[in-house]
């Protein structure tokens, strides 16, 4: 059962402050926004800093905190309300906290933390978007898993998400590939080597073009032929595209990622003319050295290039056409673009062009940048053949997991399925465990490290919780009754307070477009739970105590599975 109302201590405190200060010029959102979690839990569970209230109330912050303490008095939700300097600190009363949080998790199940406020609204997410005829490498991992996670998070909040794989299937790189194929390739070699042979030809083109720059002119001519509908050029382009799509699909199958649309750049080729005409009609298009541009000097940006000298389109042209099409087709409230930080200027430019065209929804276009993935400190480069294939990374992780299972738990049922879930989970969590704008240096050792704060650690914790429940023969869905006073141990209360935070963490992850907020939260929850497990025996003679502790285990298992699901990671019952 999906719920929209959760125990919200910030709302409770806001109500208390508003109630005891009815005559004051207070704003609910301001009070709510000021509330924070103290860095030292010994101070309390939530704090209201009174600095910003000082100017409005013309009193020193510490006097405001003391006055509020005196006015608020006892509350069933708080065991202590105490002024400490300029802060008013609140400590949660254990029994209401335990009863409400565990009750809600067991009532809502996997819907705990979900919302319905996004219902009836669409969010378009443009992510993954590898280039045709180039290998799907680890540089594409961030876009793929960040976009997939954001889609899951927004669906969890009630939105309809349209995942779009905007394939790089247009541009001069195809002219380069056709040139290389005509000079140094053959049909037999491409059929034999597939994407690897296409990559070899692409690398060879750039090596040879450094010695013979005229090859670049040949490449441009071949791409011009593609745009003009030349039969041979289009046939080769379509062939290279089909080879690539087969390879990409194997990776998406491993990650269990699906898209609602795979309309690549080529899909918008026949829509570019209308964009150019509209830009002309609105007086935005000017000529610069033979090319057609939109001047953005007034906004501190270089001009946005719309058409090259030869009349061919560019990324910006196709992105504008795509945005217009998507708004008309999907009626989105937001369109997110998950690409590398290096493309930030590109998005700023064409977002501004859409705004100058008079479309107020330009404000709903959002670039979600992420950091650079490098290999031993050097930038990944398909041109130089410096890549780590994503399929190879995933299959290697799965194989390593299977070896560990065969060594430590050879009798495990569904070994291959568990190995796939854990191996893929390790790779996905590795990409989502750090802030997305942080640059990452890829290393096989770290990618395949299952120790410490990793995806497999979270999956193992979930499996441990599942094992405890199985061992007890406990059906927590049938028996929800428990005595919250039995969970008064500090280790248990720490877990409950962490469980309480989950709905807020999901909301923050959505607001900041940051799945790593959920990743970090899950690590905290797993560590708190494992601390509880080592300090508090679950299967005890005291039936009421055992029931309460089993309810807590079930709640942790539920939230871990939900959180991992939002990251695109499976939660095995056994490992």
* Helical residues (DSSP H) of 335-439, grouped into ranges: 344-356, 390-408, 415-432
Please give the helix or strand (H or E) that residue 566 lies within, else none.
helix 543-567
* Number of separate helices (H) and strands (E) present in the chain: 22, 13
Give burial (CB, 10 Å; 0-12/13-18/19+) of 43: middle
The torsion angles phi and psi of 304, rounded to 5 degrees, stand at -90, 115
Bridge partners (DSSP) of residue 340 are 370
Query: Virtual CA dihedral for 20, 23, 26, 28, nearest 10 degrees?
Result: 50
62 is catalytic: no
Catalytic residue, from 10, 59, 82, 140: name it. 140
What SS3 state is found at 483? coil
**Could you identify the residue written with the tokens 């087709």?**
329
User: In which residue are the tokens 């090319």 written?
Assistant: 291
134 is catalytic: yes
From 505, 429, 503, 506, select the one nearest 154 (Cα to Cα): 506
- CA separation for the pair 494, 518 (Å, rounded): 18
d(CA 313, CA 272): 8
Q: At what angle do helices 9-20 and 61-72 cross, to 10 degrees?
A: 90
Distance between start and end Cα atoms, the chain: 29
Is 137 one of the catalytic residues? yes
Q: Is 193 left (phi over 0), alpha (psi -120 to 50) or beta?
A: alpha
Contact 248, 141 (CB under 8 A): no
Query: What secondary structure does DSSP assign to 107-126, as a single string?
Result: HHGGGTT---TTTT-EEEEE
How long is the chain? 575
E-assigned strands of 86-205?
Answer: 87-92, 122-126, 160-164
Beta pairing partners, 381: 386
Measured CA to CA, the distance from residue 231 to residue 237 in angstroms comes to 10
By three-state DSSP, how is residue 179 classified?
helix
Nearest to 429 by CA among 412, 407, 451, 453: 453
**Active-site residue set:** 134, 137, 140
């Amino acid at each position: 059962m999906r719920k929209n109302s959760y125990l919200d201590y910030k709302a409770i405190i806001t109500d208390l402050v508003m109630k005891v200060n009815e005559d004051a010029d207070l704003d609910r959102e301001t009070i709510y926004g000021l509330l924070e979690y103290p860095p030292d839990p010994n101070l309390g569970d939530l704090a209201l800093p009174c600095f910003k209230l000082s100017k409005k109330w013309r009193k020193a912050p510490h006097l405001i905190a003391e006055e509020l303490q005196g006015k608020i008095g006892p509350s069933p939700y708080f065991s202590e309300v105490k002024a400490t300097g300029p802060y008013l600190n609140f400590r949660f009363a254990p029994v209401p906290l335990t009863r409400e949080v565990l009750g809600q998790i067991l009532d809502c199940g996997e819907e705990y933390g979900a919302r319905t406020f996004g219902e009836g609204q669409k969010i378009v997410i443009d992510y993954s978007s590898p280039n045709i005829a180039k290998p799907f490498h680890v540089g594409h991992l961030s876009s793929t898993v960040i976009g997939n996670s954001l889609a899951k998070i927004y669906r969890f909040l009630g939105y309809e998400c349209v995942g779009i794989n905007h394939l790089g299937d247009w541009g001069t790189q195809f002219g380069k590939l056709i040139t290389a194929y005509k000079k140094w390739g053959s049909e037999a070699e491409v059929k034999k080597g597939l994407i690897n042979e296409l990559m070899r030809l692409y690398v060879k083109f750039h090596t040879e073009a450094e010695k013979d720059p005229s090859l670049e002119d040949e490449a441009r001519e071949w791409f011009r032929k593609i745009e003009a509908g030349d039969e041979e050029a289009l046939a080769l382009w379509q062939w290279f595209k089909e080879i690539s799509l087969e390879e990409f699909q194997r990776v998406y199958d491993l990650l269990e990622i699906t898209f609602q649309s795979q309309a690549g750049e080529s899909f918008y080729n026949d829509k570019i003319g209308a964009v150019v005409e509209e830009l002309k009609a609105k007086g935005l298009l000017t000529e610069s050295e033979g090319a057609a541009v939109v001047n953005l000097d007034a906004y501190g940006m270089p001009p946005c290039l719309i058409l090259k000298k030869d009349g061919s389109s560019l990324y910006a042209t196709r992105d504008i056409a795509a945005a217009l099409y998507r708004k008309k087709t999907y009626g989105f409230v937001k369109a997110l673009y998950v690409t590398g930080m290096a493309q930030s200027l590109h998005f700023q430019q064409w977002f501004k062009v859409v705004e100058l065209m008079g479309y107020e929804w330009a404000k709903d276009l959002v670039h979600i940048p992420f950091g650079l993935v490098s290999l031993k400190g050097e930038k990944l480069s398909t041109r130089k053949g410096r890549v780590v294939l994503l399929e190879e990374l995933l299959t290697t992780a799965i194989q390593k997991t299977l070896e560990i299972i065969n060594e430590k738990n050879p009798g495990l049922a569904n070994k291959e399925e568990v190995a796939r879930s854990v191996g893929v989970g390790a790779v996905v969590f590795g990409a989502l465990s750090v802030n997305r704008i942080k640059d990452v240096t890829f290393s096989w050792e770290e990618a395949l490290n299952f120790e410490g704060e990793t995806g497999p650690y979270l999956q193992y914790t979930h499996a441990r919780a599942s094992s405890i429940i199985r061992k007890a023969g406990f059906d927590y869905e049938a028996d929800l009754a428990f005595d919250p006073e039995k969970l008064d141990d500090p280790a248990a209360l720490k877990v409950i307070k962490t469980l309480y935070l989950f709905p807020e963490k999901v909301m923050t992850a959505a607001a900041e477009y940051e799945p790593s907020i959920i990743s970090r939260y899950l690590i905290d929850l797993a560590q708190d739970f494992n601390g509880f497990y080592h300090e508090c025996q679950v299967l005890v003679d005291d039936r009421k105590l055992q029931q309460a502790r089993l309810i807590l285990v079930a709640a942790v298992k539920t939230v871990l599975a939900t959180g991992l699901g939002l990251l695109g990671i499976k939660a095995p019952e056994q490992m």
